[in-house]
Every structure is written in C-alpha cells, then in structure tokens.
Structure 1
C-alpha cells in the first residue's frame, strides 16, 4: 500500500491567494543498483542527503506543493533527510522502475488542485532552480507540455498540465517514465533550452559520484 506523509505545516509555502502554482514531483525511489545498492536519495551532497538538495531545487524554483516519491530504504530516508514542506509518498513497487514512481506521484497529486506538475529526478545534481523556473515560465506562457533541453536534446525536468496526467500514467512502464508519452506528443512539447544554466548528467555509476560536491 502506498504510504503518504504530509510534512507541511499550515498554508503551502510560497502560495499566493487565488493562484494555482505548479506542483513539483521529485522521483527519489531508486535503489542505486549500479552503485552497489546505494539508494540515490541517501548519497551525500554538500554535506547532506542528495534528496534534500533535489527537494530544495523544486522549492527555490517555485513549485508548490512539493511531493517526493521514496522507495529503496524509504524509512532511512525519512529518518536522515530533512524535507520540510514536502509530501512524502512511499512507492512499494519502486523496484519495477521509474514508471511506477511516476504513477505513484501522479496518483497522490490527483487529490490536489494543481493545474500542472513539474517532474525532476533525484540523481541530477547539476539541474538547479534556474531550470525549474524556466519551465514554470513556459507553462505560464501557455505550454501544457514542456521539457528542459540541452543543446536541443530533450531532458529533465519535464512539465505536464493536468489534462496529460492520465495519459502519462498509462504510458509509464518500467524505467521509461514519461518518455513514450513525450515521444508520442513530440509536436506539442515546448523545449526550453537550459544548457546555459544546468546539465543533465546522471549519477548512475561509481564514476559518476564525481558529480557530487
């Protein structure tokens, strides 16, 4: 059973009266198979668990509310990471791949009135608040589907207006996440160049740990 814990205290931080800000969804459930079974959420970055940095990127970029999907060693993440203002969602099917975490996050967000969601990954420490802010600006300008681009190549974060959530969830299988949905709707996706403020490098292998700190 999916477990959801709301760590928010009072009104959503950053919310404006009458406004419907974009929700942030951080996928942080991976077990780090190629890292020898070290969950990515608990990797050290700037002296704290990496999941804290990634959640802070959503906060500083302007996302409200912020949901974090946990999986591998979820209890340890809850105990070690400080995630104020976040709603924590446990995904018991995390081992099935990123798609299951995306579905779990979207299902939890369905109870909110968020008009759109921005999805980011815990293992991309070079993606910061500036990239998030650019995608939110694209949504305010009318984009219902948007993705950060690096040298013209689509990457993360990605943004989906609410009317796309059902289709994204249906297509999210295995480790593909939203890839199939974005490919099928490529003509409608606004590519937002972020290569000057971010980089899409993933922390997947021991060699990639150099990206941290």
Structure 2
C-alpha cells in the first residue's frame, strides 16, 4: 500500500532579493504559490499546508483559495528552519512529508511520482532526494517522524541541510536519490531576473528538454540503441518540417517539441498499444504536450484542411523512418503491404495510413512552400552529417 503523504510549502520569507512577494507573483494562470499547490495535488498529495510569515494574511488567503491549509510562523524572521519546525508541528499523521520551498515552482508532478515510487517495496527509507545531472534538488521527501526529530534541535545555524547530511552519514541506507527527468528541481527563483527566466520557462514545462528526454530513455524507460536511432531520426525530420513551415509562414510551431516528441515517440515500443502506453507514461511524468503527440504517432484523427501541428509532423516523420534510415512513403508502406498480404484487415489499415501520410505530405508542401521530395532530400543531407 502506498504511504500517506502530506505536502509542506515554505512561503514565509521576506522575498528581499525579489523586491516583491514571491508567493503572490503571477505565474501562468495563477500565482507562484498556486502553481506549487497544484503540482503537489496533481502528484496525488491532497493534504497540503503552507507556512506563511511575512505578509502572512495575504499568503494564507492565497493558500486557502487553492484548497490548502495555512499556518502562520511567528518566528519567520529567524529563517527557513523555523518555518520547517512550525509546519512539522502542525501536520497530521502522514507517514512522509513532501517539503517544497515556494521559490521552486516549476517542478513537474511526475518528479514527485517517481520519488514516491522509490518507497514502493522498500523498508526503512527515511529520505528521498530527486537528482538531475548528478545534483540533488527540491522537493525533499522525508519521513514525518524523522523530520520532527530533526527540528527538535535547539539551533540549526545551517538549516535543515547539515542535519540531513549528518543523518545520511550515520544511516546511509535510509537515504535514496532518484534520477528524475526534471531540470527544474534545480531552478531557484529569488531575484527579478530569475523570475523573468521562470516565466520564460513556464510554457515549456509540459514537454521535456532533450537533456530531460535522455534521462527518460536512460533511467526511467530504457530503449535499445536501434530504437534510440529511430527516434533521433524521427525527431530531426519533424523538427526540420517545423522549421521549414515557420520560415515560410511564421506559424509558431515549436521545433524543440517536435524534436523531443519524435525522439520519445516509441518509448513504450514492445508494450501492447505502445503509442497509447507511451502517451500515458509521459503524461504521468508531467509532460502532457509531448504525451498527446506520442499517443497519436501510429493513428491520427486528421483531415485535409485541418492545421498542421507538431502532432501531425511527428506522425508523418515516423512514416519516413525505417530504423535509423530515411525511406520514401512508397517504400515504407510497400513493405508493410507485402508483410500483411494475406491479412485483409491489416491491408486495409496499411492502405488507410498510407493515404493519410500522402495527404499530410501534400499539406506540408503547401505549408512550407517546398516540394515534399526537395524538403526530404534537404533533411536527409542534414541528418547524415
């Protein structure tokens, strides 16, 4: 049975370097604090407490508006450790606490999911750290009993970190680091410049970077080298299609999304209904935009006249890649047709997919101002370098 979790968001500080109150700054369609609460809730944590301090009534009101509880830390000027102590004393009977500073607002819900998975089938784990690029970040998942023991310290000049480091030296088997595809565990929002960077990053939070995609393929859902080579080609083709359309029409297609979704489109290859499974896996990691592309790479609901989006470009690119080699649509579907020559239902499906691919190719010609053959030849040359 999964352990009971509560969330503890630390939002009591002065925000002195920010020159504005961090928890209430706008982010997306809500506030920085609202995003933190929403992320914890999407990961399955329902009991969420926010520790407020400076301008506490405003922060508490924002917490309650998002369905969280709030507690005021009268000693907030003493630093973050006082807020951890205050929150730990107020939380209920959860076995573990997800501890998140409010200035780390871009983490994905999938990060907490992977951290919770690290507790499954293990006994004695007291602390779980997320790790990206060999660096630990936030949030921290810690056993409630341990946290309450640690905050009983009369003083903690260095905060919680040295207490955790001492515990790990004494009981290393109780501490686990989990590799996560989330660079945002390391992204700290403390200054006006970092807030601007946060707002710039926010729209890209729902699909992975290539670096994050590498973590998925190496550590979360490993893929054999042939599959990686195929995904790389599909991603480069789809990105090239998007670039060509953007140059010709300024369509605003996301080249990076095409590239990483193409790379990951076969992440669940070998599973039943692998396209749907792969979509579910990526959605569970907190990447919904990439997930919907992956889920549609085999069959696609699209009709001539509909717009070409990243989803259609990855779908078409997949039909041009056989392993890590570029082929024509006629070659790809000719081989499929020969393979299923004695299966009328499969033949019908192959023919339907072939006709759809042809229509997509025609739409791509119109959208890019280039013939399909010319565009593919250019991309083939680029991919071979």
Query: Please, what TM-score do these two structures have when normalized by structure 2?
Result: 0.46
2:58 alignment partner in structure 1 = 76
More helix by share: 2
TM alignment of 1:106-125, pairs within 5 A: 106-109=88-91, 112-125=92-105
Structure in which a larger fraction of residues adopt strand: 1
Report how far residue 19 of structure 1 moved. Answer: 6.9
How far apart are the structure 1 equivalents of 2:160 and 2:4?
A: 22
Rounded to whole Å, the distance in 2 between the matches of 1:162 and 1:79 is 26
Unaligned runs of 5+ in 1: 1-17
Summarize the alignment of residues 138-157 of structure 1 with structure 2, pairs less than 5 Å apart. Answer: 138-142=118-122, 143-157=125-139
The alignment partner of 2:138 has SS state of strand
From the CA coordinates, give the structure whose radius of gyration is larger. 2
Determine the structure 2 residue equivalent to 1:60. Answer: 42
Q: 1:39 to 1:175 in 2, by over 3 A?
A: farther
Distance across 2 between alignment mates of 1:151 and 1:107: 34
Equivalent-residue separation in structure 2 for 1:137 and 1:46 (angstroms): 28
Q: Aligned in 2, Cα 1:179/1:139: closer, same or farther, shift over 3 Å?
A: same
In structure 2, the CA distance between the partners of 1:84 and 1:126, relative to structure 1 (3 Å rule), is closer
Distance in 2 of aligned mates of 1:161 and 1:26: 16
Q: Which has the higher contact order (CA 8 A, sep 6+)?
A: 1
Equivalenced residues, count? 192
- The two structures have a TM-score, normalised by structure 1, of 0.81
Q: 1:125 deviation in Å?
A: 2.2
Cα distance between partner residues in 1 of 2:154 and 2:108: 25
**1:181: how far off?**
2.0
Q: CA deviation at 1:185?
A: 2.3
Alignment of 1:1-213 (within 5 A): 21-36=4-19, 38-80=20-62, 83-109=65-91, 112-142=92-122, 143-171=125-153, 176-186=158-168, 187=172, 188-194=174-180, 196-199=181-184, 200-210=186-196, 211-212=198-199, 213=202
SS at 2:139 equivalent: strand
Residue 78 of structure 1 deviates from its aligned partner by 3.4
Deviates more, 1:78-87 or 1:199-208: 78-87
Q: 1:103 to 1:174 in 2, by over 3 A?
A: same
Q: 1:173 to 1:130 in 2, by over 3 A?
A: farther
Is contact 1:103–1:172 with CA below 8 Å preserved after alignment?
no
State the shift of 1:136 in Å: 1.5
CA contact (8 A) 1:41 1:51 kept: yes
Deviation of residue 176 (structure 1)? 4.1
- 1:159 is displaced (CA, Å) by 1.2
Aligned to 2:322: none
Backbone CA RMSD of aligned residues: 2.2
For residues 130-153 of structure 1, what are the alpha-carbon distances to aligned partners after superposition, in whole Å with 9 as ceiling and x for unaligned? 111111121234332111112122
Contact 2:10 2:51 in 1 (8 A): yes
- Equivalent-residue separation in structure 1 for 2:2 and 2:119 (angstroms): 14
Offset of residue 47 of structure 1: 3.3
Mapped partners of 2:60, 2:155: distance in 1: 26
